[in-house]
């Protein structure tokens, strides 16, 4: 699986909203990819678009994009079109999810909380060992 150059635990700690939908531990990129596939239709991302996004970005990068999008889904005017734009940029070599994920970490730090010490969302999780468990703080 091609994808993000960030560690999984950093992605999950900076983009914890996706953990609300997890039914178990997220211990691998494969677990995140399966979870992103569950969450993506809730944001209006069709099977066809998801296939195209994964074909261009790879499953890991596409899954990180879903996790990042979920952090600000209420701010995105058209969540179904957003990954299409990112995919075009990725195809041209002009997109990486790493800056998106790191921006959420900086935003959280500026607000004075992190996913590990915050109770900002229901089901928020902290990083525990190799995996992240839903509801751990």
Q: Tell me the per-residue pLDDT of 14-49, one tens digit each, with 9 for 90 and over.
A: 999 999 999 999 999 999 999 999 999 999 999 999
Phi and psi of 56, rounded to 5°?
-85, -50
Q: How many domains does the chain have?
A: 1
Confidence of residue 130 (pLDDT cuts 50, 70, 90): very low
Check whether 51 has a pLDDT greater than 50: yes
Q: Is 2 a domain residue?
A: no
User: What are 66-106's pLDDT values in tens digits?
Assistant: 999 999 888 888 888 888 888 888 888 888 888 888 887 66
Residue 3's pLDDT is: 53
Q: Is 20 a domain residue?
A: yes
Q: Is 3 a domain residue?
A: no
Classify 65 as helix, strand or coil.
Answer: helix
Tell me which residue range forms the domain holding 128: 8-132
40 alpha-carbon distance from chain centroid: 10
Q: Is 97 a domain residue?
A: yes
Q: Is 137 a domain residue?
A: no
Q: Is 63 a domain residue?
A: yes
């Amino acid at each position: 699986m091609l994808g993000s150059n960030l560690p999984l635990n950093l992605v999950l700690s900076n983009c914890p909203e996706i953990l609300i939908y997890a039914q178990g531990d997220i211990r691998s990129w494969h677990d995140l990819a399966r979870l992103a596939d569950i969450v993506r239709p809730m944001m209006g991302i069709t099977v066809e678009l998801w296939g195209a996004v994964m074909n261009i970005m790879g499953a890991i990068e596409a899954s990180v994009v879903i996790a990042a999008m979920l952090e600000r889904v209420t701010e995105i005017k058209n969540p179904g079109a957003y990954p299409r734009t990112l995919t075009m940029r990725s195809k041209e070599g002009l997109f990486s999810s790493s800056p998106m994920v790191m921006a959420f970490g900086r935003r959280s730090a500026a607000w004075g909380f992190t996913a590990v010490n915050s109770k900002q969302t229901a089901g928020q999780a902290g990083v525990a060992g190799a995996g992240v468990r839903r509801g751990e703080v």
